[in-house]
Structure 1
């Protein structure tokens, strides 16, 4: 049992350090190269800051359909349902 337990604990610790530390910092570093540094783009309106490009409403057939929303595509709004118009 001891032959299996020590490698399992060691693997758990290595994975914990890698996925909670190294991988997280690597993804954050790559995001810093993107426009907006991975923080998204914001717009200020009426002394409130909102993120743009969240749940855009597409009306042209050139785009994929976005996810249906029960409360519209306003990032400041929220609702208790994520049901689409057909369900």
Structure 2
């Protein structure tokens, strides 16, 4: 039993540490080298500030196409995607 349980505990602790700490810090560090330091691009028009890299739905054709989404952009709700290619 010890030959099975201890490696499983070690692997669980390693994965928890790696994916909750080391991986997260590494991805944040990589984002610092991207344009705008991993933050959304700020656009100012007529004195009003807009963030262009944030997902949002567009209702008029004059705007550029946003990222496709199977669900509404409401963060309070969630749903699965049943759309196929």
Change (3 A) 1:69 1:49: farther
TM-score scaled to structure 2, two decimals?
0.57
Matched, 1:57 2:42: no
Whether 2:68 is the aligned partner of 1:67: answer yes
Give the number of the structure with larger relative contact order, counting CA–CA contacts within 8 Å between residues 6 or more apart.
1
Unaligned runs of 5+ in 1: 59-64, 72-76, 83-87
Q: TM-score, normalised by structure 1?
A: 0.56
- Contact 1:57–1:66 (CA under 8 A) maintained in structure 2: no
Runs (5+) with no aligned partner, structure 2: 57-62, 80-85
RMSD: 3.9
Residue correspondences, number: 71
